[in-house]
């Protein structure tokens, strides 16, 4: 203890990070990342890229801003915009895929950074850990692809072609298992902040992250980011805990899969949704949800109407019915709360959702707290510089 205190004093305010803080919980329980490998900071973007993708178990310290923005130069493509263009606070859409429809205006010369659309590959057995508030990856996202056992903690991923839809995602999880994304922050991303699918994403815990939707380029033309989380994997077991989502206008989160053999589950616990002129939950088929202990403050649409019409089930009560959970998951569920001019949340108490959650493994079901401290706790703990 005395030695530890001395080291802190000697290093002044410089944070000493030697690796991951805490242990993975929820669906990603057992995820160890680079384990006990010696922590080291890459010297530049090229070394970071190589360490992320090689076959070596690593604890990679992100101790400064690694700026990939112009690392692959710029490229030009055609596309379109809808409603408002980039100069008026909108986003344009690279490529012609989504350009049909009378409200779309074609563009022939969209210039964007090539790096944004070419994410960094992340291999198995990696811990990617930000140091203090210094850990920033800019201009290029992370793609956990064909890999297992990855921890991304205390990293700020930002500024990936924010003017352009299809300009890049912050974190992609595909053909994976055991991924823990904890205490990260996301802002100014062209497309999704976190995306999975259509392959299996496996067991994933997304905890204590800040999803900051403030932007000058909004697909919904209201300075709020629309593309938050899109989880479409055919085998997704997700715990979504303690996150702070704000100033967003959609897909916060969207999940569901068209794979009718899937038994996906989504357990949302104690998240805080604030100031959203759009929707939070948008749920598709074949994913069973327990949504408990969450607070929606000044959120226009806490859950889309379509969410309750899907071939899957939801348990998300606002009051009562919580004791129905005890016989299925061994404890009562926790009520959600909708406050401060939010739209209504349709409360559903379909215990089939709990059955699927229990079948995924009771060891993966984390506990939930009441909503009383959720707002203050999410604001105090979510994002970078807090571990
Ligand atoms: C990851 O670590 C596990 C356990 O040590 C090992 O079996 C596996 O081969 C490693 N994977 C890679 C790609 O290094
Ligand atoms: C509610 O959220 C909107 C953005 O969606 C924001 O402009 C407004 O100021 C918020 N209201 C309050 C009382 O915070």
Residue 329 DSSP symbol: H
CATH topology of domain 57-72+120-381: Pectate Lyase C-like (2.160.20)
User: What separation in Å is there between the alpha carbon of 122 and the centre of ligand 1?
Assistant: 14
* CA neighbor of 384 nearest in space, from 3, 65, 11, 9: 65
Looking at residues 153-171, what average pLDDT do you find? 98
Q: Ligand 2: residues within 6 Å at CB?
A: 275-277, 298
Q: Which is more confidently placed, 15 or 145? A: 145
Residue 34 DSSP symbol: T
Looking at residues 108-115, what average pLDDT do you find? 96
Domain ranges of the chain: 57-72+120-381
Ligand 1 pocket mutation pick from 57, 145, 178 by most atoms within 8 angstroms of CB: 57
The confidence score (pLDDT) of residue 349 equals 96
The confidence score (pLDDT) of residue 259 equals 94
Q: Please tell me the residue having the least CA distance from ligand 2 atom 6.
A: 275
Q: What is the largest CA-CA distance in the chain?
A: 70
User: What separation in Å is there between the alpha carbon of 136 and the centre of ligand 1?
Assistant: 27
Alpha-carbon gap, residue 251 to 230, rounded angstroms: 7
In this predicted model, what pLDDT tens digit does every residue of 333-369 receive, in sequence order?
A: 999 999 999 999 999 999 999 999 999 999 999 999 9
Q: Identify whether 58 is a catalytic site residue.
A: no
The confidence score (pLDDT) of residue 314 equals 98
Q: Which ligand is nearest to the CA of 53?
A: 1
In this predicted model, what pLDDT tens digit does every residue of 220-244 receive, in sequence order?
A: 999 999 999 999 999 999 999 999 9
Atom of ligand 1 nearest to the CA of 55: 14
Residue with tokens 């590959």: 121
User: What separation in Å is there between the alpha carbon of 125 and the centre of ligand 1?
Assistant: 6
In this predicted model, what pLDDT tens digit does every residue of 178-191 receive, in sequence order?
A: 999 999 999 999 99
Is the peptide bond prior to 129 cis by the omega test (within 30 degrees of 0)? no
309 lines ligand 1 (CB under 6 A): no
Q: Please tell me the residue having the least CA distance from ligand 1 atom 2.
A: 125
Count Cα atoms within 13 angstroms, Cβ side, for 54: 12
**pTM, 2 dp:** 0.95
Alpha-carbon gap, residue 25 to 204, rounded angstroms: 10
User: What separation in Å is there between the alpha carbon of 4 and the centre of ligand 1?
Assistant: 32
The confidence score (pLDDT) of residue 18 equals 75
């Amino acid at each position: 203890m005395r030695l530890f205190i001395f080291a802190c004093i000697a290093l002044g305010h410089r944070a000493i990070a030697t690796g991951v803080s805490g242990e993975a919980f929820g669906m990603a329980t057992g995820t160890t990342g680079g384990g006990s490998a010696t922590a080291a900071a890459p010297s530049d973007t090229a070394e970071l890229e190589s360490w992320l993708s090689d076959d070596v178990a690593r604890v990679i310290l992100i101790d400064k801003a690694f700026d990939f923005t112009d690392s692959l130069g710029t490229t030009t493509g055609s596309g379109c915009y809808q409603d408002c263009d980039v100069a008026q606070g909108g986003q344009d859409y690279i490529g012609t895929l989504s350009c049909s429809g009378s409200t779309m205006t074609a563009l022939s010369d969209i210039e964007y950074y090539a790096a944004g659309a070419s994410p960094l590959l992340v291999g198995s057995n990696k811990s990617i850990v930000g140091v203090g508030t210094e850990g920033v990856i800019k201009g290029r996202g992370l793609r956990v692809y064909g890999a297992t056992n990855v921890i991304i903690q205390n990293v700020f991923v930002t500024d990936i072609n924010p003017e352009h839809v299809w300009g890049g995602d912050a974190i992609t999880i595909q053909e994976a298992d055991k991924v823990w994304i904890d205490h990260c922050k996301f802002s100014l991303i062209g497309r999704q902040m976190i995306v999975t699918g259509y392959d299996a994403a496996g067991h994933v815990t997304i905890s204590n992250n800040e999803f900051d939707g403030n932007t000058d380029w909004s697909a919904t033309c209201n300075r709020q980011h629309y593309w938050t989380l899109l989880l479409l994997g055919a085998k997704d077991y997700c715990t979504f805990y303690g996150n702070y989502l704000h100033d967003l206008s959609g897909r916060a989160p969207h999940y569901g899969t068209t794979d009718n053999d899937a038994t996906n589950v989504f357990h949302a616990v104690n998240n805080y949704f604030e100031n959203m002129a759009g929707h939070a939950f948008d749920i598709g088929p074949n994913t069973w949800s327990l949504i408990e202990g969450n607070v929606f403050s000044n959120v226009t649409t806490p859950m889309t109407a379509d969410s309750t019409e899907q071939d899957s089930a939801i348990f998300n009560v606002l009051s009562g019915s919580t004791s129905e959970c005890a016989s299925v998951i061994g404890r009562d569920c926790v009520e959600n709360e909708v406050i401060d001019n939010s739209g209504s949340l349709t409360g559903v108490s379909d215990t089939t959702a709990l059955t699927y959650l229990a079948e995924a493994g009771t060891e993966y079901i984390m506990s939930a707290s009441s909503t009383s401290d959720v707002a203050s706790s999410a604001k105090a703990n979510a994002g970078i510089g807090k571990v």
